[in-house]
Amino acid sequence: MNVSLQWLSDHVDFSEYSMSQLDELLTFAGIEVEGIQSLPDHLVVAEVLSSERHPDAEKLSVCQVDDGSGKPRQIVCGAKNYKVGDKVPLALPGCVLDAGGGKTFTIGEGKLRGVDSLGMMCSSKEIGLGEGADGLLILPATLKPGTPLRDVFPAVFELEITPNRPDCLSHLGVARELAALAKKPLKGIAHHGVSTTPVKAAADEITLSSETCPYYTARLIRGVTVSESPSWLKVKLESIGLRPINNIVDITNYLLMETGQPLHAFDMSKLDGGIVVRAAADGEKFLALNGEEYALSSDDLVIADKTRAVAIGGVMGGEDSGVTETTTDVLLEAAYFTPAAVRRTGRRLGIHSDSSYRFERGTDPLQVAGVSDFAVKLILDLAGGKADPELLVAGSLPDGPKPVALENDYCRAVIGAPLTDETINGILTSLGLTKAGEAWEIPSYRLDLVRPIDLVEEVARVYGLDNVPSHTRATFSAASKADEAYDFMRAIQDRLASLGFYETRNLKLISAAQLSDDLATTHRGMSPVRLKNPLNDEQDYLRPGLIPGLLASASRNQRFGRHDLRLFESGRVFTAPPKGDEIEHEHLALLMTGARVNRSWADGKPSALDLHDLRAVLEQICPEGLNFVPVDDTRLLCACSIEIGEGKKASKLGLAGIVPPARARELDIDAPVLVAEMNVKKLMAARNADPAHADLPKFPGSSRDVAMLVPRDLPAGTIAAFISAHEEPLLQSFELFDLFEDSDGVKLAKDKKSLAYSILYRSSDRTLEAHEVETAHSKLLDSLKSGLHVDFR
C-alpha cells in the first residue's frame, strides 16, 4: 500500500522526523517499508508561456516556460494535452529520472531536430507517479513556478501491511498506529464512526438476502454535477499513484485510502428499482467496470436492482451502472461484507480491487455510517446537489470485538522480561484499548485482538525486542534417528568428496521425459508421483530417483566443456504404491564418466573410467562384502544389483551399470557413463555399526597360486562365490591377481580367459606344515575342477 507522507501529516505531525527515522518507526511497528519513492532534485513546477510548432517537426512544439528563475526557458515537447498557462512538471538539466528496469537517465541540454531544448516537461509516468493519463501531468494552477515538485508530491512509502492488521490499510490507520508508537497526538478525528444523519430502516428500498452482507447502507444525493476534481484532491490521489476520474469517484477513492472503508457510487438513473443484496444465480453474467465479463456462481454476492446485478458485493461495480459525466443522481453505498465471502469470490473470479483487498481482510463495521456521512459532505461540497435527509440502512451491525482479559504475569512470562504493570497498561492504553475491570475493551477496528496472547503480542511489539534482555537456556538432547542418519550421510559425503566427487543438488521436480532415466523404481506397480497443478511440463513429477537429475547435471557440464565428471547426490525420492500413502526414501547416487585421471605429464593418455572404477568407489563407501550381481535390466548395460553378502541373505542396496550409449549421446556425452543408485536406509542397515576387536593371527599363513583357464563368459563372480562356499577351515582369503584374455587368439583361445588367484591358508593355533597346505589346496583344485570344469595352467 502506498502511503503519502503529506497525507499522513493531515493526522500526525512528523515534521521533525527524518526519512530514516520514519522508516524505522514503521519497521518496528511491524509495517515493512518495501520502498520509499521520493521525487528527484531539479524537478520543478513550470508554467507554459508559449507553444509554437517546431519548424522541422510536425509532432513537436517549441515552448517557452517559466521555471521560476525569472528568465524564460526553451523546451521542445512532443505532448499535445497542455495549453498555454498550464502548470507542468519540468525536469531541469541534471535531473536524474528513472528509466525503468533499474536504469536511470540524466536530463541534459540538447537539441531536438536542430532546436535547443533545455530540459524536459514530464508525464506522471516519467516522474514515477503512477501510470496516469497520456501526455504531460497538468498540475494545480495555484502552484508557483520554480516550486520543487517534491514539495507538491512529498515522499510516498510503499508499505507491506501484514494480514492481521487490516486497520492499517488506510492513511488514518497508519497515522493512528504511528501516533501511538511515537506518543504523538492524532490530529482531527481518530475514527470516522460518528454519523449525525438520521437512520431509516429501509426494508422496502433494500432487500438483504445473504448472510455475507449483514449491514448495508445507501444514501441518495440528487442533482450533482459530475466534473473534474479540484486540484487538492487530484494531487492527493496522484501522489499515491491513483488516477483521478471525476469528483464523485475520486471522493470514494479518497475516502477508501483515508479511512479504509470502501464506498461505491451508483448512477441512480441506471438502477431499476430498489437495491437487492443477494447471492448470484449460477451462471449469471456480469460486466464489471474493468471491462471484463464474469460468470458468477451462487457462492458470489451481488448488489442488484430489480432486473440485474449492478456490482459484485465488495469487489467491483458494474460497467453500466457507475457514475459518468451525465450522472445527476447518485446512490452512495457504504456496507460491511464478511471477509471470507469477499475473499472467496475475489479468488474464484481472479478479481482484486482496492475494495476487495480491504473487505477480505476485515473492515471496521462501526465506521460505515460515519464514512458515508463524510463522503456525502464532500460530494455536496464538490459536486453540489441535495442529499436525502436519511441514511437508508438494512441489516444490523455485527458484534464488535469482545473484551479480552490479560494477566500481566502471563505477559511477563511469555516475554521473559520484568515489565511493570505500568508499562504493560501504558502500551495497551496508547493503542486505544481501555481497561474495564479485569478486561480490556478493544477498539472496533482492531479485529486481531481476540485472545490474551494477542495483547501480549502488542506489548512485545511496542516494547520492542531490543529492550528485552537476551537469555539462553539449553536442554540436553539425545541423538535422534534423524541425527544418526544425518551423520551417516555426512561421513559418506566427505568420503566421496575425497574420492574426487562433486556433490550436486538437483530440483526434486522433473519432467515426464526424464522419468525414463530413472533407475530407482524397481517394483512393479510402483509409479512416479505426479503433481496436480505443475508450473510447467518441465516440472510435473516428483523425482522417483536421483539419476535423472545427475544425468541432466552431467549433460550441462559436458556442454560447458567439462568431460571428466564424478558427481554424486543424496536426497529424498518419491514413489507411489498402487494403494496407500506415497513413499519417501533417502537415496544416494553416483555418476562417473570420462578419463580415470586428468591428462598430465604423468599420463598423457589416461584410460576411460569403467565399471570396475565405479565398483572401487562403492567399496570405499559400502560395508565389506560388496558384490555386483548381474541382473536383467534394459535401462542399463551391464546392469548389476549392488549387494552386500552372498546368496539369499544378501542385502540388495540398489543398481549399478552403464547408461546406454545412445542415451548418453543424446545428452552430449561420448564416453561411458557409469551410474549407481542406492537406498540409504538399506546401506545404513548393512553396515557393521558396532565394530569389535578380534585377535590378530599369531601364526603365519601360507599362500598358493592357481591359474585357471575358463570359458571367457564365465563371470569371475561365479568363481569367487564358488571359492567362498568351498568348505575348508584353513582357507583364509583369496585374491584375483591376474586376468589374461587374448582377442587375437594367439596366446590363448579367443573363447577362453586365464584367471590367477592367490589363496591364503592359515590356522589360528599353529604354523601349518607344508603337507597340510598342499592337501587343503589340492582339495580346492579338485573341487574347482569338478564343480566348475576349469583347467589349470
Partner 1 sequence: MLAELDTIQTEALAAISGIDDEAALEEARVGFLGKKSRLTEAGAGMRDVPADLKKDVGQKLNEVRNAITSALEEKSATLTARRDAAAFASIDPTLPARSLPKGGLHPLTLVLDEAVRILRRMGFALAEGPEIETEWHCFDALNTPADHPARNETDTFYFENGKLLRTHTSSVQIRTMEKEVPPVRIIAPGSAFRRDEIDATHLSAFNQLEGLYVDRGVTLADLKGTLEYFFREIFGSKTEVRFRPHFFPFTEPSFEVDLKLHAAGRAVKWIEIAGCGMVDPAVFTEVGAKRGDSAYDPSAITGFAFGMGIDRLAMIMYGIPDLRLLIENDVRFLQQFRG
Q: Binding of partner 1 at residue 477 (CB under 8 A)?
A: yes
Number of H helices, E strands in the chain: 19, 42
Site string for partner 1, 142-181 (x = CB under 8 A): --------------------xxxx----------------
Shorter beta-carbon distance to partner 1: residue 231 or 506: 506
Shorter beta-carbon distance to partner 1: residue 273 or 464: 464
Taking CB under 8 A as the criterion, the residue among 35, 500, 711, 787 binding partner 1 is 500
Q: Binding of partner 1 at residue 512 (CB under 8 A)?
A: no
CB of 468 to partner 1, least distance (A): 5
Q: Of the candidates 331, 325, 281, which has an alpha carbon nearest to the alpha carbon of residue 307? A: 281
Q: Binding of partner 1 at residue 470 (CB under 8 A)?
A: yes
The footprint of partner 1 on residues 108-147 (CB under 8 A) is none
Shorter beta-carbon distance to partner 1: residue 379 or 460: 460
Taking CB under 8 A as the criterion, the residue among 21, 32, 41, 201 binding partner 1 is 32
The single-letter DSSP state of residue 532 is S
- Burial code (b: 16+ CB inside 10 Å, e: under 16) for 731-757 equals bbebeeeeeeeeeeeeebeeebbbbeb
Taking CB under 8 A as the criterion, the residue among 456, 730, 768, 784 binding partner 1 is 456
Task: Output the CA angle 232-234-235, nearest 5 degrees.
Answer: 65
Shorter beta-carbon distance to partner 1: residue 232 or 486: 486
Q: Binding of partner 1 at residue 433 (CB under 8 A)?
A: no
Shorter beta-carbon distance to partner 1: residue 561 or 700: 561
Measured CA to CA in angstroms, residue 724 lies from 102, 702, 715, 728, 731 at distances of: 71, 18, 15, 9, 9
Q: Binding of partner 1 at residue 466 (CB under 8 A)?
A: yes
Shorter beta-carbon distance to partner 1: residue 392 or 542: 542
Q: Binding of partner 1 at residue 16 (CB under 8 A)?
A: no
The footprint of partner 1 on residues 564-583 (CB under 8 A) is 564-567, 572, 574, 582
State the Cα–Cα distance between residues 178 and 381, nearest whole angstrom.
30
Q: Binding of partner 1 at residue 27 (CB under 8 A)?
A: yes
CB of 611 to partner 1, least distance (A): 17
Q: Binding of partner 1 at residue 562 (CB under 8 A)?
A: yes
Shorter beta-carbon distance to partner 1: residue 258 or 448: 448
Q: Binding of partner 1 at residue 478 (CB under 8 A)?
A: yes
Q: Binding of partner 1 at residue 283 (CB under 8 A)?
A: no
Residue-by-residue DSSP string for 85-126: T-EEEEE-TT-EEEEETTEEEE---EEETTEEE-SEE--TTT
C-alpha 385, offset from chain centre? 50
The single-letter DSSP state of residue 430 is H
Taking CB under 8 A as the criterion, the residue among 30, 132, 365, 370 binding partner 1 is 30
Q: Binding of partner 1 at residue 612 (CB under 8 A)?
A: no
Instruction: Please report where in the chains the cell 467496470 appears, as a residue.
Output: 289
Cell numbers representing residue 518 in the block: 530413472
Find the largest Cα–Cα distance for the chain.
128
Shorter beta-carbon distance to partner 1: residue 313 or 318: 313
Return all residues near 52 (Cβ < 8 A) that are at least 6 apart: 61, 62, 63
Dihedral over Cα of 464, 469, 470, 473: its sign: negative
Taking CB under 8 A as the criterion, the residue among 475, 634, 743, 786 binding partner 1 is 475
Taking CB under 8 A as the criterion, the residue among 38, 64, 74, 493 binding partner 1 is 493
Burial of 665 (0-12, 13-18, 19+ CB in 10 A): exposed
31 in helix, strand or coil? coil
Stretch that binds partner 1, among 27-35, 226-234, 303-311, 774-782 (CB under 8 A): 27-35
Stretch that binds partner 1, among 101-109, 147-155, 466-474, 695-703 (CB under 8 A): 466-474
Beta bridge partners of 132: none
Q: What are phi and psi of 107, to 5 degrees?
A: -70, 135
Site string for partner 1, 703-732 (x = CB under 8 A): ------------------------------
Contact 555, 667 (CB under 8 A): yes
Taking CB under 8 A as the criterion, the residue among 465, 685, 716, 749 binding partner 1 is 465
CB of 459 to partner 1, least distance (A): 8
CB of 639 to partner 1, least distance (A): 25
Taking CB under 8 A as the criterion, the residue among 598, 620, 718, 767 binding partner 1 is 598
Instruction: Please report where in the chains the cell 525536469 appears, as a residue.
Output: 91
Shorter beta-carbon distance to partner 1: residue 4 or 506: 506
State the Cα–Cα distance between residues 730 and 733, nearest whole angstrom.
9
The footprint of partner 1 on residues 741-780 (CB under 8 A) is none
Q: Binding of partner 1 at residue 409 (CB under 8 A)?
A: no
Cell numbers representing residue 778 in the block: 589340492
State the Cα–Cα distance between residues 493 and 196, nearest whole angstrom.
75
Taking CB under 8 A as the criterion, the residue among 53, 187, 222, 505 binding partner 1 is 505
Shorter beta-carbon distance to partner 1: residue 20 or 786: 20
Shorter beta-carbon distance to partner 1: residue 63 or 618: 618
Stretch that binds partner 1, among 37-45, 265-273, 408-416, 730-738 (CB under 8 A): 408-416
State the Cα–Cα distance between residues 792 and 785, nearest whole angstrom.
8
Contacts of range 424-430, beta carbons closer than 8 Å, 24 or more positions apart: 424/459, 427/458, 427/459, 427/462, 427/463, 428/455, 428/458, 428/459, 430/180, 430/181, 430/183, 430/462
Shorter beta-carbon distance to partner 1: residue 221 or 462: 462
**β-strands 206-208, 275-279 pairing:** parallel
Which H/E stretch holds residue 485? helix 481-498
Shorter beta-carbon distance to partner 1: residue 24 or 735: 24
Cell numbers representing residue 137 in the block: 501531468
Contact 653, 664 (CB under 8 A): no
Residue-by-residue DSSP string for 660-718: -HHHHHHTT--S-EEEEEEEHHHHHHHS-SS----PPP-S--EEEEEEEEEETTS-HHH
Taking CB under 8 A as the criterion, the residue among 20, 83, 602, 771 binding partner 1 is 602
The footprint of partner 1 on residues 618-637 (CB under 8 A) is none
Count of residues near partner 1 by CB under 8 A: 88
Shorter beta-carbon distance to partner 1: residue 66 or 458: 458
Shorter beta-carbon distance to partner 1: residue 480 or 786: 480
H helix intervals, 109-222: 149-152, 171-182
Taking CB under 8 A as the criterion, the residue among 5, 8, 29, 427 binding partner 1 is 29
Q: Binding of partner 1 at residue 504 (CB under 8 A)?
A: yes
Beta bridge partners of 110: 117
The footprint of partner 1 on residues 316-355 (CB under 8 A) is 340, 343-344, 347
Taking CB under 8 A as the criterion, the residue among 96, 182, 509, 788 binding partner 1 is 509
C-alpha 290, offset from chain centre? 28
CB of 465 to partner 1, least distance (A): 4
Taking CB under 8 A as the criterion, the residue among 235, 496, 611, 618 binding partner 1 is 496
State the Cα–Cα distance between residues 552 and 566, nearest whole angstrom.
13
Site string for partner 1, 519-558 (x = CB under 8 A): ----------xxxxxxx---x--x----------x--xx-
